Copies of this chain bind each other. A is one copy, B any other.
Amino acid sequence: MSKIIKVKFLPSGKVAQVPAGNSILQSALTAGVKIESTCGGKGTCGKCKVQVSLENLLPNTSIEKEFLSEAELAAGWVLACQQQLFENTTVTLKEQKDVFKRKLGFEENIAVVSPASGITKSFLSLSPPSTENQMPDWETLLSALGHTEIPFNRSVAAYLPKVLREGKFQVTVVMDEEDALLAVEVGDTSSQLYGLAIDIGTTTIVAYLMDLNTGSVLASGAATNPQNVFGADVISRIVHVTDNDNGLQQLQEKLIHGLNEVISALCHDVGISRNEIYRTVAVGNTTMSHLFLGIDPTYLAPAPFVPVFRQAVQVEAGELRLNTLNTGKVSVLPNVSGYVGSDTVGVMLAAGVDRLQGINLIIDIGTNGEVILVGKDRILTCSTAAGPAFEGAEIKSGMRAAEGAIEGVTISDDVQLKVIGETKPRGICGSGLIDAVSEMYKAGIIDASGRLGKKDQSRDRLSDKLGRRLRETDGGREFVLVWGSDSDSGEDIVLSQKDIRELQLAKGAIMAGARILLRDMGVSPQEIDRVMLAGAFGNYINRESAREIGLLPSLPIERIEAIGNAAGHGAKMALLSCEERVRADTLSRRAEHIELSVRAEFQKEFVESLSFGRKV
């Protein structure tokens, strides 16, 4: 048996007992301490930088030497995934800010539905039993409802006698559109009727608490998907499930825990009880739908990429341990295929794809990039492995769109920045990255192939200030966006050649997908009447920059519009309306899934889509 050691984390004071030889990252996971890591411990992201008390430190690995400066190494900074612990150790974590200060989504251009959620409340005055009328409580309730065929609900029956007597036989019954009895409440509570719409992103989870009587959003909240400790992308998470016996349970628990924290905060803000949330509608990519429901996603990873299910699924909240009414309903909207999930169906609902005129290209940019082409009475969809570059992962100085993130870049004779929260910059997020690369391309710092110019060859073309920012390092060329003197950490914030390549791969994949859908429908890019950018990210993107680097087709700018967090909006619509849930089913079946991996022409389209410059 291996030795067990104690690992104490500061400043939280949490302690993990783990087998000797576990990494700091694994120990943090056991202790319930959050350390950012987007590669899941593979040693490829360099994000899990922590400072360790100096006793018991192992020699630094080559991976640590790659990601950390000598000064950092000297000061005891290490990568949490690289350092194995063999003795009792105290680990001091560098503070990691993760605040969402940007407003989530603006939701013009999105359909509004009137509330007809199917959840109804009935206030009843019942006749108490007597020796002459020994009717069981359940039957007393059903006969007052005039409805004797309602299925027995054990969980409601369990507390029914107490509620009936506490309410002196004046109670409110909550039912859904299928005559399922969800709750019985003391007195008349018919004015309180709440529901929850959730959008489970690989990187970010968003929840909206809604009033089902009025249809209004009472509060919304977001958080990092806590599954990110197992890797930034869906494949890392599926691999974690496949490789670990309790991996599926771990990932489901992480997600539910994260959602529950958001739900508790929303309930607290609005001043309601979790037990007043009667229905939840969730959307997410197909992997997230599986993990949310605790269903093995293993075979989504290898070809032929099959999910376990794709239809809409409804379960009881208690089954998932979701912090809403235990007997409330949780509906996950239908998926289209293994990589076109219910989030895309949510986008289709929100964009009203079954009512659109002309040719419409919808791009939902997240960790995966889903593309929908609507026209000629068809709905074509595909998913592209955009990777997490647009969410700041796999980018050396990348970060999520949180305080301190560079979100806009202008380059003239020097670099001007727009930073979230107007603080000293800490890194760069997706919209900043697109801006930066577009500006660098226009300024001639990179060429159409994406190559950073050599420092000496660029001297003539660039201003002194810009020229100084271009430099060669052991890791290749890089461009300094922010000098250490101006940054939050005191270190330079740079874009490396590798970062630019990551962006190229991401945007190339999306554009190649779009081009294949256009070809399948038999329309040219110029025939597109409207491009819609979905996703919170779409709201912040500079459309000109995106068009400049060829992430979007070269169309007049007024044909390109952001439609906000359309996936989340679709979830809200489905929460508010039974009809919209039926419509979601219809759309998921109507959508034709184009599997890019089997298309011979994909590679050619992909390579052609890699270069910069406006594309047709």
Q: Which residues of A does B touch, CB under 8 Å?
A: 129-139, 152, 154, 157-162, 165, 248, 293-296, 298-299, 303-311, 313, 315, 319, 337-338, 593, 595, 597-598
Q: Which of B134, B138, B294, B593 contacts A305 (CB 8 A)?
A: B134
Name 7 extra pairs, CB < 8 A, besides A137-B307, A154-B313, A161-B299.
Answer: A129-B306, A131-B304, A154-B294, A157-B309, A160-B308, A161-B308, A162-B296
Give Cα distance in the complex from A409 to B248, angstroms: 64
Residues of B within 8 A of A248 (CB): 158
**Residues of B contacting A159 in the complex (Cβ-Cβ under 8 angstroms):** 296
Q: Compute how far the CA of A310 lies from the CA of B140 in the bound complex, rounded to whole angstroms.
A: 12
A134 pairs with B308, CB closer than 8 A: no
**Best-buried of A132, A133, A306 by chain B (most CB within 10 Å):** A306
- A126, chain B: closest CB distance, angstroms: 12
Question: Of B152, B313, B315, B337, which one neighbours A309 at CB under 8 angstroms?
Answer: B152
Bound-state CA distance A337–B309 (Å) is: 44
Contacting residue for A160 out of B162, B296, B319, B597, CB 8 A: B296
| Cross-chain pairs A/B with CB under 8 angstroms, 28 sampled | A129-B304, A130-B304, A131-B303, A132-B598, A134-B306, A134-B337, A134-B338, A136-B306, A136-B307, A136-B309, A136-B310, A137-B308, A138-B308, A139-B310, A152-B309, A154-B295, A154-B313, A157-B295, A157-B308, A158-B294, A158-B295, A158-B296, A159-B296, A160-B295, A160-B308, A161-B298, A162-B296, A165-B299
Alpha-carbon gap, A135 to B299, bound state (A): 12
Contacts of A305 in B (CB 8 A): 134
Shortest CB–CB separation between residue A423 and chain B, in angstroms?
A: 45
Closest 10 CB pairs of A and B: A138-B309, A131-B304, A129-B306, A136-B307, A137-B308, A158-B295, A136-B310, A161-B296, A157-B295, A161-B299
Please report the C-alpha to C-alpha distance between residue A305 and residue B157 in the assembled complex, in whole angstroms. 16
Question: Closest residue of chain B to A338, judged by CB?
Answer: B134
Give every chain B residue within 8 A of A157 (Cβ-Cβ). Answer: 293, 295, 308-309
CB-contact partner of A598 in B129, B131, B307, under 8 A: B131
Are B310 and A597 neighbours in the complex by a CB distance under 8 Å? no
Q: Which of A133, A309, A310, A593 has the most CB of B within 10 A?
A: A309
What chain B residues lie within 8 Å of A595 (beta carbons)?
A: 131, 134
| Known A-B contacts A131-B598, A160-B296, A161-B299; A306 and B137 likewise in contact (beta carbons under 8 Å) | yes
Closest B residue to A598 by beta carbon equals B131
CA distance A160 to B295 in the complex (A): 9
Most buried by B among A138, A154, A319: A154
Closest chain B CB from A169 CB (angstroms):
12
Report the bound CA distance from A395 to B319 in whole Å.
Answer: 47
Q: What's the least CB distance linking A348 to chain B, in Å?
A: 19
Neighbouring B residues of A308 by C-beta, 8 Å: 136-138, 157, 160-161
In the bound complex, CA of A152 to CA of B334 (Å): 12
A154 x B306 contact (CB < 8 A): no
Q: Which residue of B lies closest to A307 (CB)?
A: B136
Q: How far is the CA of A489 from the CA of B282 in the complex (A)?
A: 67
B134:A304 contact, CB within 8 angstroms = yes
Most chain B CB inside 10 Å of its own CB: which residue of A133, A139, A593: A139
Residues of B within 8 A of A158 (CB): 248, 293-296
> In whole angstroms, how far apart are the Cα atoms of A296 and B166 in the complex?
14
* Contacting pair B154 A299 (CB below 8 A): no
Cβ-closest chain B residue relative to A310: B136
Instruction: List the B side residues contacting A135 at CB < 8 Å.
Output: 306
Q: Could you tell me the distance between the alpha carbons of A593 and B296 in the complex, rounded to whole angstroms?
A: 51
Contact A597 B131 (CB under 8 A): yes
Q: Nearest Cβ distance between residue A312 and chain B, in whole angstroms?
A: 9
Q: In the complex, what distance in Å separates the CA atom of A321 from the CA atom of B606?
A: 53
Complex CA gap A260/B293 in Å reads 28
Q: List the B side residues contacting A136 at CB < 8 Å.
A: 306-310
Q: How far is the CB of A314 from chain B (nearest CB, A)?
A: 8
Minimum CB–CB distance from A373 to chain B (whole Å) comes to 19
A12–B207 Cα gap in the complex (Å)? Answer: 52
Residue of B nearest to A300 (CB): B161
Q: Is the CB of A315 within 8 A of B137?
A: no
A306: which B residues are within 8 A, CB to CB?
129, 134-137
| Minimum Cβ distance to chain B for residue A69 (Å) | 45
Q: Which residues of B contact A154 (CB under 8 A)?
A: 293-295, 313, 315, 319
In the complex, A61 Cα to B134 Cα: how many Å? Answer: 43
Cα–Cα, bound, A298→B163 (Å): 12
Complex contacts, A138 vs chain B, CB 8 Å: 308-309, 311
Please give the distance in Å from A609's CB to the nearest CB on chain B: 23
A335 to chain B, nearest CB (A): 8
Chain B nearest CB: distance from A434 CB in Å?
A: 32
Q: Which residue of B lies closest to A151 (CB)?
A: B314
Contacts of A132 in B (CB 8 A): 598
> In the bound complex, how far is the Cα of B597 from the Cα of A338, in angstroms?
65
Tell me the complex Cα distance, A593–B152, Å: 23
Q: Measured between alpha carbons, how far is A309 from B161 in the docked complex, in Å?
A: 10
Assembled-state Cα–Cα distance A529/B310 (Å): 63
Query: How far apart sit A486 and B152, CA to CA, in the bound complex (Å)?
Result: 57
Chain B residues in 8 Å Cβ range of A299: 137, 161, 165
**B-side contacts of A303, CB under 8 Å:** 131
